Structure 1
Amino acid sequence: MDIKTLFLCLIFINLFLTVFMLISSKIQKTYNGYKYWILSTFILSIAYIFFALRGIVSDFLSVVIANALASTVGVLRIISIRKFFALKTSNLYFISVPILSSIIFYFTFVINNGVIRNTIISLFLSSASSYMAYKMIKNIKKGVEALYIFNAIIFISYLTICIIRMISWIITPQSMLQSSFSNILYFISVMSLDIGWCIMIFAMNAQKINMEIQEKNKQLEELNKVKNKLFSVIGHDLRNPFNVILGFSNLLIEKIEKKEIYKMENVVDNVVIIRDLSYKTYILLENLLRWGKIQIEINSFKPDFYNLYEIIDANITFVKHIAEFKKINIIVDVDNSIKIYTDKDMLDTVIRNLLTNAIKFSFFNTEVKILSEKKLKDVVLSVQDKGIGMSLEDIDKLFRIEELFTRRGTNNELGTGLGLILCKEYVEKNNGKIWVESEEGKGSCFKLLLKGES
C-alpha cells in the first residue's frame, strides 16, 4: 500500500467521522467540547488533503498550511478535553499555531529541511497528546475507570508513534510521501487512532450524559423528600396554630355572647394568645412563601447600601411582644454608622428569623445581644442568646433542607427549621456567610458575614 492511498483512506475516514459526530450532536445532548472535537476532525481531513497534494500544489499549501492545520487540530483537541472536564480555556492556546507555522515556513523556504520540520511538528503533537493523556488519568471518574484508562492509552499510543517516527526520520532522512516502513506504520496507526478517538469522544459524551441523568434523578429524589417534609410542615405546623386561634376566638365570642366575661384581664389574655399565635403563623407563612420564591427563582434581588442599625431596629419591633412575654431584654450594640451592601427585604427576613429563634430558645428573664464587628471591608453581625444551646451533632443538622431540624423552645414553642434554611440561602445570595457557635446549656451565637462599604 502506497502513502497516497493511505492519505485517501485518512481523508475519507475523517470526513465520515465528522459527519457521524455532527449528526450525533444534533440528535443527542453534547458537552461544550464535543463540537471542538468535530471541528478538529474536519480540519484534520483538510490537512490530509494538502499533505496528499505535496508536489502538485505549492509547498506553502502542502507544507506550511498543512502543518498549521495539523497544529490547530492539536490545540482544538486540548480545548475540547479541557471543556469536557469543565476547566478554563483561553484563545491564547492558538498563539502556538502562528509560531509553529513561522518555524515551518523558515525550514521550508529559508532552510529546506524536512527532518527538522517533522521533528518540530512531532514534538508539538506528542506534547499535546501527552497533556491529554495526563488529563484523562488525573480526572478518572469512579465507576468508569476503564473508559478513562482506555482513552489515556490511545493518547499515549499516538505519543509513542510520533516519537518513533521522529527518531526514524532523524536516523534515516526521508520525505512524507516516501513509502518507507516508518511512514506506512505511522499512517496505518493514525488511521486506527482516528477511529479510536471518535469512539472515545462518543463514549465520554454518553458517559457524561448518563452521569448528568443520575445526578438529576438524585436531585429529584431530594426534592421529593423536601416536598414531603414541606407538606408535613404545612399539614401539621400550619394547621395547629389555626386550630388554636379558631378555638380561642370561638371561646371568646361564646363568653361575650353569654356575658360570662366579667374581667377585662380575661379578654386581654385570650387576645394575647391569639396575637402571639397569629404572629408565629405569619412568620411560618412568610418563610414558606419566601423559600418557595427562591426555589422557582421569581424572587427579585435588589441589593444596595443600607444602614445596618436602622434595619435591626425596625425588625426588633416585630419581635418585641414575644420578648416582653418572656421578660427578655434585647440589647443592641451596633455601630449606627455601618452601612452594608445587601437586599434589604432578604436581610429583614434573616434578622427577624434569628431574633425569633434567639427569643424562642432563651430562658425567661435573660437577654439577647446583637453585636457588630468590622472585618476590613466586611461586617460580622452576631445574635447571641443565653438559652439552651446546641450539641455539635445538632449544629451539623442546621441549614440543611433534607433535615429541617427543629426543637421546642423554652416555653414549649414549636418550630419548623425552615427559617434557618431561608437565612442561609438569603445570606449566600448576598455573597455572605452564616454560621453558629454554641454549647449545650450556655446559649448560641449566630454570626453573619455581610458585605460592607468598599
Structure 2
Amino acid sequence: MEVLDLRTLYFNYTIVNIVSLFMVLILWNQSKKRFEGTHFFVFDFVFQIICLFLIFLRGHIPDFFSMVVPVTLSITGTFFGLVGLAKFTGKKINYPLNLFLIAEIFAVQFWFSIVDENLAVRNFNFSAIFLILSVQCAWIMLVKVPGGLKKLTVWVGMVFSLFALVNLIRIVEYFLVGIKTNDYLNSGPFESGVILVYQLLFTLLTFSLILMFNGRLNRQISFEEEKFSKAFQITPYAILLTRLSDGKIYEVNDGFLSLSGYTKNEVIGKTTNELNLYVYSGERERIVGLLSAEQKLKDIEITFRKKSGELLIGLVSAELLDINYEVSILTTIYDLTQRKELENQLVEMNATKDKFFSIIAHDLKTPVSNVLGFSNLLNEELNSFDGNEIAQYVSLINTSARQTLNLLDNLLQWSMMQQGKILFDPKKIILSELVQDVIETVTENSNQKHISVTSQVHEKLIVTADENMLKTLLRNLLQNAVKFTNPGGKVVVSAIEIDKGIQVSVADNGVGIEKENLGKLFDIGSAYTTRGTNNEKGTGLGLILCKEFVEKHGGRIWVNSTLGVGSSFTFSLPA
C-alpha cells in the first residue's frame, strides 16, 4: 500500500504538474500574440500546483489552508481552463453559474472542514462541481466548437469527458460505499486510484493542449504563408527578397519578372550587382545605409536597368526582415517610367500652350497692326501722297500680309498636327521639281536682299513623302536661310541618296548660330527666336513644325552651324 500513499501521490502529482506548467508557459509564450486567452491556462496550472502542494502539507499547516483553500483553488483553476477554451473557440460560457460554483465550493468546504468536519460531503461536493465544469469543457471541445477546429479540439474534449466520467464514478462510489473517515490522506485505496487517474488525465490534458495549440498555430502559419504568397504574386508591383549582406536574391514575384525581363531561374541565387540592376554605382549601399538607420524606407526614386538594357525609374519601398536567422530586405518597386513620360508630355503640352498664346498675343499682332496702320494712313492721306509713296506703303502692306499668311499657315498646320488631324498621304515625288516650286515662293524675299537661292538636287531623285508637309518643311527652311543671310549671300538646296532613303540639306553662308543655342532650335519650350539680317521677325514655330513633319515621316533633322560662316539644316526621308 505504500505505493498508493496519498501524500506521496500528491507530491508526485505536484512535480508532474510543475513540469506541465513549464510546457504550458512555453506554449503561452509562442501563442500569446496569436490566440486570445492562452494566459488562462497558465492560471489554471498554477492554481492546480498550489492546490496539490497545500494538500501535501496537510497536518503541517492550518486546516483552512490545507482543506478550504486548495479545493477552492482547484475549482477556480478549472474555471480558468474553461474560460481559456471558450476564448480559443470563440464560444460563450455561463459566467454567473460558474462563479456561483466557485463561491459554493468555498462555502461548503469552509463549513464542513472548519465548522462541522465531514469528508464525505466535501468530496461529494467537489466531485459534483468538478463534474459540471468538466462537462462544460467537453461540450465546448466536442459539440460547440466550429467545424474547422473539431479535429484539433477532439483530444482535449475526450480528456475532459474522462475527467467527467471519473467524477461521476466517484459520486456513485460515495453513494454506494460512503467514506468512514474524516482523514482524507488515509481515506483508502479508491481515493488513491482516483488521484492516480487525475494525474494521468492531467498529463494527457497537457499534451492535448499542446497538440491543439500547435495544430492551430501550424494552420494559421500555413494560411498566412498562403496569403502572403498570393499577395506576393498577385500584386502588380515588382517585389524581391534579398540578403542584406550581399544582395543575393532569394525570391521574386511575377511582377518583378515582367518588369525586368528576366526569368526566375536567371535571378534566383544571383546578387543584384551580378545582374547589374542598379544603374548608378553605390545605389544599393545607399539603400542599405538608410535601412540600417531607419529599418525601413518608403517612396524613393531609383533608376534600374532591365535585362534588355532599357532603363526604368522605380518608386522603391523596402523593409528589413529576419528570415531563418538572417537579415533580409523585402523590396517593392513601382514602375514610374510611364508616369514620368506623362509628366514630360504635360510639360511639353504646357510649353505648346504657352507658345501658342505667345504667337497669338505678340507675333500675329505685329503684322496685322502694320497692315491696319498703313491702310488707315493711305485711307486718310491718299491725296497727299505721290505715286512712289503709295507704292512703298502698298509694298509694306503686302509684306505684312504675306508674313501673316505664312504665320497663319504654320500655326494652322502645327495646331492640326498637335490634334492628330493633319492628313498624312505619302507618295513618290520627284524631289527636284518640288524644290524648284518652293524656291519660287521665296524669290521675292531673296531678290530684295540680292540672295542667290539655287537647287543642286538631281532631277531624277525620287522621294516618298507627303507633298504638302514636304513643301511646308522646305519653305520654312528656305525662308529661315534667306532671313539669316546677309545681302549678296547664297542659299543652296542639295540632296544625296543614303541607305534606305535620301538626305536633304538647306545650306547658307549667313550669320550662323552660336553653339549653345543649337539645342534650343527644335525645343518648343525654349522660346528661342532672333531677328534676321534685315531685322525680320520670327516665331520659332517653323523649325518646330519642320521637326514634327520629318519625324512623322520616320526621319530626323539636325543642324550644323558656325558663327559668322553659315548654317546647314539637314533632314532624312525614306526613298
Place the TM-score, normalised by the shorter chain, in its bin. Answer: 0.5 to 0.7
Note if 1:414 corresponds to 2:537: yes
Give the C-alpha shift of residue 335 in structure 1.
0.9
Which position in structure 2 is the counterpart of 1:248? 374
Which position in structure 2 is the counterpart of 1:310? 433
d(CA) in 2 for partners of 1:308, 1:272: 32
Provide Cα deviations, 1:340-361, integer angstroms capped at 9, x if missing partner: 1222222221101000001101
- The letter of the residue matching 1:433 is R
Give the C-alpha shift of residue 10 in structure 1.
6.9
Q: Determine if contact 1:81/1:132 at 8 Å carries over to the other structure.
A: no
Give the C-alpha shift of residue 144 in structure 1.
8.0
Note if 1:292 corresponds to 2:415: yes
Which position in structure 2 is the counterpart of 1:439? 562
Give the C-alpha shift of residue 267 in structure 1.
3.2
d(CA) in 2 for partners of 1:314, 1:10: 81
Q: Determine if contact 2:432/2:461 at 8 Å carries over to the other structure.
A: yes
Give the C-alpha shift of residue 397 in structure 1.
2.2
Which position in structure 2 is the counterpart of 1:428? 551
Provide Cα deviations, 1:368-416, integer angstroms capped at 9, x if missing partner: 1111112233212111112111221222322111212111101100011
Give the C-alpha shift of residue 301 in structure 1.
2.7
- Residues 1:5 and 1:148: Cα distance change in structure 2 (over 3 Å): farther
Which position in structure 1 is the counterpart of 2:443? 320
Note if 1:359 corresponds to 2:482: yes
Note if 1:451 corresponds to 2:574: yes
- The letter of the residue matching 1:356 is Q
Pick from 2, 10, 13 the counterpart of residue 224 of structure 2.
13
Pick from 79, 83, 99 the counterpart of residue 258 of structure 2.
83
Normalized per residue, the structure richer in strand is: 2
For the residue of structure 1 that corresponds to 2:370, the secondary structure is helix
Q: Determine if contact 1:136/1:148 at 8 Å carries over to the other structure.
A: no
Which position in structure 2 is the counterpart of 1:130? 269
Matches within 5 A, 1:33-432: 77=253, 80-85=255-260, 87=261, 127-130=266-269, 133=272, 138-139=277-278, 200-201=331-332, 204-205=333-334, 208-209=335-336, 213=339, 216-217=342-343, 219-256=345-382, 259-263=383-387, 265-432=388-555
d(CA) in 2 for partners of 1:146, 1:296: 46
d(CA) in 2 for partners of 1:146, 1:411: 60
- The letter of the residue matching 2:439 is I
- The letter of the residue matching 1:438 is S
For the residue of structure 1 that corresponds to 2:557, the secondary structure is strand
For the residue of structure 1 that corresponds to 2:402, the secondary structure is helix
For the residue of structure 1 that corresponds to 2:399, the secondary structure is helix
Which consecutive residues of structure 1, in runs of 5 or more, have no partner in the other structure? 38-73, 94-123, 151-187
For the residue of structure 1 that corresponds to 2:524, the secondary structure is coil
d(CA) in 1 for partners of 2:513, 2:371: 31
Which position in structure 2 is the counterpart of 1:116? none
Give the C-alpha shift of residue 277 in structure 1.
1.4
- The letter of the residue matching 2:429 is Y
d(CA) in 1 for partners of 2:284, 2:422: 42
Provide Cα deviations, 1:32-51, integer angstroms capped at 9, x if missing partner: x79xx9xxxxxxxxxxxxxx
For the residue of structure 1 that corresponds to 2:436, the secondary structure is helix
Q: Determine if contact 2:430/2:461 at 8 Å carries over to the other structure.
A: yes
Q: Determine if contact 1:335/1:372 at 8 Å carries over to the other structure.
A: yes
For the residue of structure 1 that corresponds to 2:384, the secondary structure is coil
d(CA) in 1 for partners of 2:409, 2:283: 46
For the residue of structure 2 that corresponds to 1:138, the secondary structure is coil
Which position in structure 1 is the counterpart of 2:248? none
- Residues 1:200 and 1:425: Cα distance change in structure 2 (over 3 Å): same
- Residues 1:13 and 1:291: Cα distance change in structure 2 (over 3 Å): farther
Q: Determine if contact 2:513/2:567 at 8 Å carries over to the other structure.
A: yes
- Residues 1:7 and 1:315: Cα distance change in structure 2 (over 3 Å): farther
- The letter of the residue matching 1:138 is L
Q: Determine if contact 2:450/2:487 at 8 Å carries over to the other structure.
A: yes
- The letter of the residue matching 1:434 is I
d(CA) in 2 for partners of 1:326, 1:285: 24
Q: Determine if contact 1:136/1:149 at 8 Å carries over to the other structure.
A: no
- Residues 1:214 and 1:306: Cα distance change in structure 2 (over 3 Å): closer
Percent identity of the aligned residues?
31
- Residues 1:226 and 1:261: Cα distance change in structure 2 (over 3 Å): same
d(CA) in 1 for partners of 2:398, 2:233: 66
Q: Determine if contact 2:438/2:474 at 8 Å carries over to the other structure.
A: yes
Give the C-alpha shift of residue 8 in structure 1.
5.6
Q: Determine if contact 2:463/2:574 at 8 Å carries over to the other structure.
A: yes
Q: Determine if contact 1:137/1:149 at 8 Å carries over to the other structure.
A: no
* Superposition TM-score, scaled by structure 1 size: 0.60
Q: Determine if contact 1:293/1:299 at 8 Å carries over to the other structure.
A: yes
Which position in structure 2 is the counterpart of 1:103? none
- The letter of the residue matching 2:258 is K
- The letter of the residue matching 2:419 is I
- Residues 1:437 and 1:218: Cα distance change in structure 2 (over 3 Å): closer
- The letter of the residue matching 2:384 is E
* Superposition TM-score, scaled by structure 2 size: 0.49
Give the C-alpha shift of residue 362 in structure 1.
1.2
Larger of the two Rg values belongs to structure: 2
Give the C-alpha shift of residue 131 in structure 1.
5.2
d(CA) in 2 for partners of 1:223, 1:129: 43
Q: Determine if contact 2:555/2:571 at 8 Å carries over to the other structure.
A: yes
Select the structure with the greater relative contact order (CA < 8 A; seq sep ≥ 6).
Answer: 1
Provide Cα deviations, 1:246-289, integer angstroms capped at 9, x if missing partner: 11112222234xx33442x4333222212221222222222222
- Residues 1:380 and 1:266: Cα distance change in structure 2 (over 3 Å): same
Normalized per residue, the structure richer in helix is: 1
Q: Determine if contact 2:233/2:255 at 8 Å carries over to the other structure.
A: no
Which consecutive residues of structure 2, in runs of 5 or more, have no partner in the other structure? 1-29, 31-210, 241-250, 290-321
d(CA) in 1 for partners of 2:385, 2:514: 47
